Structure 1
Amino acid sequence: MTDSRAGVHTEAEIAEQPAVFDRLLAARAETAQIAAAIARRRPRFVLLAARGSSDHAALYAKYLTEVLLELPAGLVSPSTTTLYGARPDLSDVLLITVSQSGGSPDLVEVTERARAQGALTVAVTNTMNSDLTGAAELAVDIQAGREVAVAATKTYTATLLSLYLLLDAVRGGSAEHALGLGEVAATALAKAKDPVTEAVQRWRFVDRVVTTGRGFSSATAAEAALKLAETSYLSARSYSGADLLHGPVAAVDEETAVLAIAGEGAGGRATSAVLDVVGSRGADVVAVGSAAHTLTASVQVGVPVTAEEVAPIIEVLPVQQLALGLSVARGFDPDRPRGLNKVTKTR
């Protein structure tokens, strides 16, 4: 008999992530070969093209590029190519296009144009027979398997881990900080169940959410806002902790729910000061991450400590559980968000 419960596919795909991580880590030699080809080309700049959840994965990759490789990196605006026909000189540039489906026409066009303009192009995708992989010179398979729910869960984290393995290998790393992440993920999911349930009960009637984080966790905060908006139809906005204090904090009050992402490391320490200000304005704060226990919050959702550069792969797991729980508690089905399709085609 088919299980018709709301969120059944999302729940299953969240639970599948430890196995996906194990699969990716077992196949990391294939990613290392692509990294070696990149290293031989010695790019002077890295551009990242993506949409939706993949755009948040690209933001994570931007931090990895600038911190680990010490190369400048930027996020592409696809419309400069698709709408305005821009043809910048991309000699010695690495373009990484991130797309779970590999089917968005604008990302395919950006990749084709970049390759024609001299860039080394790499597709990071879950669909190796897609138009995107045909357009790119190299391709990384995130190996997440078929994802049924519209809201991305396992494809998002598989993309994060794939990007980490790729860029770590470019710098000559051995993936030491990623080894064992499957087991870490299983622990994180189990540990988060009770505090996430508490957070769902506190927030089931909220209307307005602000998500925030610093450093690598900025990507997690951005993904959190998207997940809450698309599955629970909340008005959710994401800000870097630094940007939040540069104006938007004025809109935070006792009617605002704040989701703070903070791990052990420089980003988490910087987030603590942000929450001192947010808390003084009466906001109800839920903190997620390995440093959650150090923050002043109504609910603290801890995860195991990892190296900061891989923390977004783990700290987003309770965020996915929260999005699932809130959606169902509010009477929605996160497997089928209204007005959305699994593959969104834009130009």
Structure 2
Amino acid sequence: MTAPEPTNAQVRLRPEIAALPPYRQGRPAPANGFKLSSNENPWPPVPAVERAIAAAAAEVNRYPDATALVLREKLAERYGVTADEVLVGAGSVSLLAQFVLAAAAPGDEVVYSWRSFEAYPGLVTVAGARSVQVPNRADHGHDLEAMAAAVTDRTRVIIVCSPNNPTGVAVTRDEFERFMASVPADRLVLLDEAYAEFVRDEASVVGSDLIGRYPNLVVLRTFSKAYGLAGVRVGYAIGPVEILDAARATAIPLGVTAVATAGALAALESDAEAELLGRVDQLAHRRDDLRDALIAQGWAIPEAQGNFVWLPTGERTTEVAERLFDVGIVARAFPGDGIRVSVGEPESVDVLLTVLKELV
């Protein structure tokens, strides 16, 4: 049997996927520089988490528990729900993908604010659905009234990001409750709270306070940021069982590793969690001080409730980002819009303030 003659024909791919820019991480920081582009926790793992991960790594020849049952039970106890009302995934972005796939078919619509988390457009496109991007308000927060007005018969999912990544503005409790009252109860609402632990504004919405109140609401959290587990990929969702079961059906099997589960469980133990949340407090104070200093310099910095600040640099974005890189700071630039700068080591704040004072 002879092999077929080679041809110049290209493999047929979905054109919308071929045209979709892949998610790209920030470039590496220069030597002696600071990587402030990925909203990572700047501290190393606490010892208890490190030990748990090392122990789990000794058994990587075995498959993990596909459902992460022990972790789901721990989270269920914390939030006063059943284990079936908790879904664990490989980071909250993986869970977002599962929910979008479960609810939105080709031709359907997914509504979200823009600018918001840069992965949202790709997740929607992969599902075959259409993004409906509602512009942020002038203060860089969600315009929930406009988002509600954008809901049509084709809308299947609405994503609310609080605090909003990358602008940092949180949705208030009152705003969110009015929004939920105005959205049809048969449309899935995903409240993406990846940075919830950093919020210090008491008026902000708290997803855990709303569990069980709305039959169409799912709350998403992650261990990547506050708990410093970005490298092992673990997040969770809380919501009605039938919605979570649909998302479970879209998951890639065995996506959550035993190492990730072990790290998350160790991080939830009282001593480890107290140390981790103490670090979160330090970052929140550092963020507030940084924002105040930038405003004093003349920068128009919006409310900051995550572990980052937003520089609305507009057409100067590339210029400012390159100047930051020149002094050793890698930030996340969104050309034409602005720059997101993670709150990192204290030394990075001094460098950041020095160079931005020259550029204001």
Pick the TM interval, shorter chain: 0.3 to 0.5
- What's the TM-score once normalised by structure 2's chain length? 0.37
Q: Which has the higher contact order (CA 8 A, sep 6+)?
A: 2
Q: Which has the higher helix share?
A: 1
Q: Which has the larger radius of gyration?
A: 2
